[in-house]
Structure 1
């Protein structure tokens, strides 16, 4: 009877240690998930802020300003416009006969 009691006591102790370990792991994993969710929210907020900054940088007024200041571009006027005409070459005589 004493052996059975000792075996049952050992089983209860092992079960208790396993339960404590499982609860500890559960809490650790829960805090890891909570930290990951917080980081995901921070990254989403940063992404949204970067999208807003990207839209600000791509406004037509900003592009115009950069073109004038950094690239030294100027608006097109008829006085500085050059028109180019393209003359199509006539097809060769051999190409016309080969097509028939």
Structure 2
């Protein structure tokens, strides 16, 4: 074999190996992308669940129930109201 054939064969081998390496990198990146998309879907579902829970916890009826039952608060009545007058 002459020198040009050996050179072309070496270049062909280098190109083939770089192609295999590039395909392997592409596969790894694709797998990482798929994992990231799955994680994104999970986080999106968790976010929607948390928003729903926040809406339920912030409803006025729930706040009123917590205020009465846990904090033992009662509504204001006129006989319990103390009116102050400003001194002039």
TM-score in terms of structure 2 length? 0.91
Which residue number in structure 2 is paired with residue 66 of structure 1? 66
SS of 1:10's equivalent in the other structure is: helix
Cα deviation for residue 49 of structure 1 reads 0.7
1:18 aligned residue: 18
How many angstroms apart in 1 are the aligned matches of 2:87 and 2:17? 91
- After TM superposition, what 4+ stretches of structure 1 lie above 3 angstroms from structure 2? none
RMSD between superposed Cα atoms in Å: 1.3
Number of positions where the alignment pairs a residue of Structure 1 with one of Structure 2: 88
Question: 1:85: how far off?
Answer: 2.2
Q: Which runs of 5+ in 2 are unaligned?
A: none
How far residue 87 of structure 1 moved from its aligned partner, in angstroms, is 3.1
Q: Distance in 2 between matches of 1:38 and 1:57?
A: 29
What per-residue deviation string (whole Å, max 9, x for no partner) do you get for residues 49-95 of structure 1?
A: 1000000011111101111112110011111111122235xxxxxxx
Per-residue deviation, 1:42 = 1.2
Within a 5 Å distance, the mapping from 1:1-100 to structure 2 comes to 2-87=2-87
Paired with 2:4 and 2:29, the residues of 1 have a C-alpha distance of 37
Structure whose alpha-carbon radius of gyration is higher: 1
Query: Structure 1 unaligned runs (5+)?
Result: 89-100
1:97 alignment counterpart: none
